[in-house]
A and B are shown apart, each in its own frame.
Chain A
C-alpha cells in the first residue's frame, strides 16, 4: 500500500496539469478575451456578419450613430453626419477611427466580467465627449478645404471638436469618394508644423540658455549657408529678441537659435513635448510625429523652424498647447465619457491622466505671455477674436508640390471658464494666422457662447 501511495502521486500530476492549463487559459482569456469577443466570426455578436448592436451619442445625448439589424442609423443633420463621419464610421467600415472598429468592444458591451451580455442583446450606448454641433460648425468653417480642427478641454482632457476634411455624408455618400476622405487627419496624419514648432525651440532655449531672453539676432531677411543653402524670411526684421522673433515669426532668429541650442537639446525638447509619441485616446492610437535632427548647418536651422523633415500630428500639437496652458503638464485627451462612476474610477486607476512634465512652469508662463503677445500685436487681437483671451502661434508650412502653404494655427484660451486648447490645419490654403485664425474664431465663438 505504501508503495502505491507514492506512485499515485502520478495521478495528482494529471490534476496539476489540468489546474495549470486552466489557469493559463484564464490568463489568456483575460488578455485576449476582448479580441476574441469582437472577432467577426463570433456568433454571439454578429448576425450574418453584420454588427447589430451598440450606439454612439455626443456629449449632449444627441444620437450620432446606431447599429441596427437594418444597418447603421445616423444623426438627422447632414452637417453633423459629415463632421462626425470620422468617428461614427461609414457604412462600409472603411474609416479606421470609426466607432465600429475602434470602440467595438464598447459598442458590443464587452468586458471580462460580463462578456458580451447586454439587456435584450442591444449592446451598449457609448457617449462621446464630442459636441456634434461644434463639429458641424468646424466642418462648415473649413468650407470644403482639406484640413482638420481639434479642440479639447485642457482641464479635463475631453475632446469637444474633432473634424477632418475631406469628408462626406455617410448616409448619402457621393458617387466618387474624395481622395483621403477615409483618413482622420486629426488622429492619423502628420504635417510639417511650420512656425508653430518655434514654440518648442523657444522652450528649449528658455530652459537651457542663460541669455534666452536677451539673446538678439539681426535679421537681414536671409542667412546664407553656402552652396546655395539659405534660410529666408518674408521681410527684414532687424534686430530681434525672443519675444519679438516669436511675434513676427522670424526665421533668421530661430535659425541662429537652433544652432545655439544644438541638435541634441532640440531633440530632447521634442521628446519632452511629446511630439514624437503616440497618444492612446480611449483606444484610438494617434500617429507619432517624426523628426530628423541634423548635427548643424542649414538643415538644423530649418529643423528648429519646423520645416526640413519635421512632421507633427495635429493632436500631439494640441496636447502640447494644453501643457503650456496648464503650467507645463497636459491632461491626456479622451473622447469617451465614462458610462458610470465605477468605470470612471477604473479608467482613472488604469490609465495615465496626465502627461509627464513637458516644460517648466515658468517656461509655460513665459510662452503664454508671448503667445498672448502674438495675438494682440500680430494676429489681429480683439478685433479678429472678439471676447476671447486667445494665446496662439501660427504656422505657414511650405509643402513641396502644393501651390499654397499649409496654414497652422494652434494655441489655447487663457480663460478659467473656457479652458480650451486647439489646433487647426488647413492644407494648401495660405497664411496660418489668416486662414487658421478665421476657422478657429468661428469654432471658439460657437463653443464659448453656446
Chain B
C-alpha cells in the first residue's frame, strides 16, 4: 500500500517536471511577449506645453519642457531669420510651470520686452521675446486644448491590462515552488516558500497600490518582477539558503524604486540633492577602499554588522544622477567638470579595487552620457584612445585579466582550467535545450559564480533557451523604450538618465551573457535583475526609476506627476466638465476645422512669409458673440471662482482669451453625441485621472494673492480660467508692467 502510493507519487513527480518545463515556457512567452509588445507597440504622442507665437503670426507648439532655439537643424525651434545664431537660446519650463529664457551668447542677442537678456530671465505670457529681429510671444494652452491633447494622447496610448500577466506570473511562481519540491525532495529549504510568497505579495501590493494612485502603465515593472522571479529560482538552485535574503532584496529594491520615482517627479528638488549624492558616493568609495573585503579577486565588498554589500553597485545610481543634465546644464562647463571629475574618481577607485568588470560598465556609461551630453565624436575618440591606453596598462598589471583575454575564443582548448566556466556554461546551455531541464534540476549550479557571472547558462539549463533569450530581449526592450520616450520627453535630464540607465543595463547584459558563452572575455558582472546578489537586485530596481521617470505616457508612471494636489479642486473640475461635455475630441475637431487637424510638425516649420498662419482663425473668431459664457468659465474654474462675464482683453493679450473662445460653440453639437453614447460619470472620472497638476497647479508665491483677489473681485480673470499656473500669473504681471 505504502509502496503503491510512493510509486504513484514517483510517477506523478516524474511527469510533473516533464510537463512543467513546457508550461512555464509557455507562461514566460505569454507574460514577456505581452509586455514587450505592449512597450514596443506603444506610441507616446507629444505633450504640448505652450505655444510660441511667431512674427508671421503662426504659432509653434512647444512639445518639450526644454527647447533649444536657433537656426541649426538640431534645434527644437528652428528660426529661419537672418539675425539668429545657430544655437541662439534656450526656452525651458520647470516642473512648476515657469518658463525661463536663456541667451546662449548669441551674436545679436535676445531681448525681452526690449530689454537685452544677459542673465536667465523668466518669460511670461505676453512678454515679447525679440530674437534676430523677430518678435515672439509665449502663450499657454487654453484649457480646451489641454483636454483635447490629453484625449488625443489617451487615444494613442494603448493600455495593457496588468492583471492577466500578473496572474500568469503568480501561476509561474506557484509551479516553480512545486517544481522545487519535486526536484529537491527532502532537501527542500522551507524558506523557499516564504521567499516566493514575499515576492508575489510585493508584486500584487505594488500594482494594487499604484492602481489606487490611478497609474496604468506597469509593463516595465512586470518585466522586472518576472526577471526577479527567475532570479529567486536560480538563487534557490545555487544557494538554497540565500533565497529569503534575495526576496527581501527584491522588496527593498521595489521600495527604492518607489522612493526614487517619487523623488524624481520634482526635478528641481531632485537636483538640489545632487551634491549630497556626490558626497555620499565619494565617501562610500573611500570607505570601500579603506575597509573593503576581497572576494572573487576584487576588493569591492563592505561588510557591516554581518551585512555585506557592494558600494560600487550603489554608486551606479548616483553616477547617473550626477551624469544626467538638463538643457541648461548642458551649456555649463562647471556641470561637465563635476561629472568628469566624479567619473575619473569612480574609475580610479574601481581600478584600485581591481573590479575590472564594474569599471568597464562605468566607463561605457560614462561614454554614453558624455556622448548624449556633447554629441561630439572627436571628444569621444580622444576619451576612447585614453581609455584604450588605460586598458592596456590594466592588462599589463593584472595578469589574471590578461589570462581571461588569452583564453578568449579558445575556451575549448583548455576546458578544465582557463576555459572551465565558459565550457561549463555552453555545455549546460546545450543540455537545457528549448524548455530547460526544470528548476533545480540543473548541475551548473555547482560551478562557482553560476548564478551570478554564468547566470545566462544557468537560466538556459534550468529554464531553457527560450526564457534565457526572452530575458535578454527584456533588457533590449527597456533600451528601446527609453529611446522612444525621448520623442515626447519633457527634460533632457530625464531622457539622458533613462538612456544612460538602460545603456548600463544593456552593457552589463552584454558583458555577462557574452562573457559566459565566450563571445567576449569573461569579466564577471551581473545580469540586471536576474543574477543572484542583493545589492545588484536593489540597484537594478533603483535604476528602473530613471526609466519610469521618462515614461510620459498619460497616467503611466508614478515618476511623472499627474494628479491634483487639492482633492476638492479636482472634484469641482470633474463636475464642471461633465456638465459641459466638450471633452469629446471628435466634436472638437469637427468644430475647429481643417487647420487644426494639421499635425503640429507642419506648424513647427517656420516660413517667414507663410500666407496661412496656422492658428490665425481663433483670433478672427474672437469677435464672435458669446451667448453662454457661464458654463465655459465654470469648466475651467476652481471651486470659488464664480461665474461672471469675462472681460476678454483685461490686462492680458487678446490671444489666450480668444483661443478659448471657440470652446463655446462646441457645447451645443457635442452634448447630444456624448450623452447618447456614454454615461457621464465614467467620463468624468477619466477626466480626473487626466487632470494635470501642472495645468491646475499652483505657482506658490503669487498664487494665493491672485486667487484671493479673484474671489473678491468677482469678474473672471485668466487665473480663473486657467488656474494659477505660473505662466499665467506672471503673464498678467508682465502685462501690467
Contact = CB atoms under 8 A, between A and B. Distances in A.
A and B together in one complex: yes
Interface of A: 1-12, 14-15, 17-19, 21-22, 24-26, 28-29, 32-34, 36-37, 39, 41-45, 110-117, 119-120
Given A18-B506, A44-B443, A112-B434, 8 more contacts: A1-B495, A7-B372, A21-B519, A34-B430, A42-B428, A114-B433, A115-B433, A119-B14
Contacts of A115: 430-434, 436-437, 461, 464
A5 B446 contact: no
Contacts of A39: 415, 423, 427
B327 interface: yes
Interface in B480-510: 480, 482-483, 486-487, 489, 492, 495-496, 499, 502-503, 506-507, 509-510
A92 B476 CA distance: 49
Contacts of B74: 2-3, 6
B429 interface: yes
B499 A8 contact: yes
A41 to B, nearest CB: 6
B203 interface: no
Contacts of A15: 476, 479-480, 506
Interface stretch (B64-72, B566-574, B669-677): B64-72
B371 A7 contact: yes
B135 interface: no
B268 interface: no
Contacts of B372: 4, 7-8, 10
Interface in B337-377: 368, 371-372, 375
- Could you tell me the dominant secondary structure of chain A's interface residues? helix
A22 B466 CA distance: 11
B315 interface: no
Interface string B301-315: 000000000000000
A39 B419 CA distance: 13
B424 interface: yes
Contacts of B435: 114, 117
A44 B415 contact: no
A17 B503 CA distance: 11
A113 B513 CA distance: 21
B487 A5 contact: yes
16 contacts: A1-B327, A4-B372, A4-B486, A4-B495, A8-B372, A8-B499, A12-B480, A14-B479, A15-B479, A18-B509, A36-B427, A37-B431, A43-B447, A110-B431, A113-B433, A119-B14
A43 B489 contact: no
Given A7-B372, A14-B479, A21-B513, A114 B486 contact: no
Contacts of B514: 21, 25
A18 to B, nearest CB: 5
Interface string B438-471: 1000111011000000000000010011000100
Given A115-B432, A115-B434, A11 B499 contact: yes
Nearest to B480: A15
A117 B433 contact: yes
Contacts of B424: 41, 43
B129 to A, nearest CB: 19
Contacts of B479: 11-12, 14-15
List the 10 shortest-distance A-B pairs measured between CB atoms, nearest first: A115-B433, A43-B443, A36-B430, A44-B431, A33-B430, A14-B506, A37-B430, A42-B427, A1-B64, A15-B479
B375 A116 contact: no
Given A8-B372, A9-B483, A11-B483, A18 B476 contact: yes
Interface in B414-429: 415-416, 423-424, 426-429
A12 B477 CA distance: 10
B25 to A, nearest CB: 11
Contacts of B616: none
B124 interface: no
Contacts of A110: 430-431
B558 interface: no
B195 interface: no
Contacts of A116: 430-431, 433, 437
A339 to B, nearest CB: 17
A111 B427 contact: no
Contact of B483 (A12, A21, A44, A120): A12
Interface in B216-273: none
Contacts of A29: 426, 429-430, 465
Contacts of B525: none
B603 interface: no
Nearest to B433: A115
A372 B554 CA distance: 89
A18 B472 contact: yes
B76 interface: yes
A4 B428 CA distance: 42
A5 B76 CA distance: 11
Contact of A1 (B14, B21, B68, B430): B68
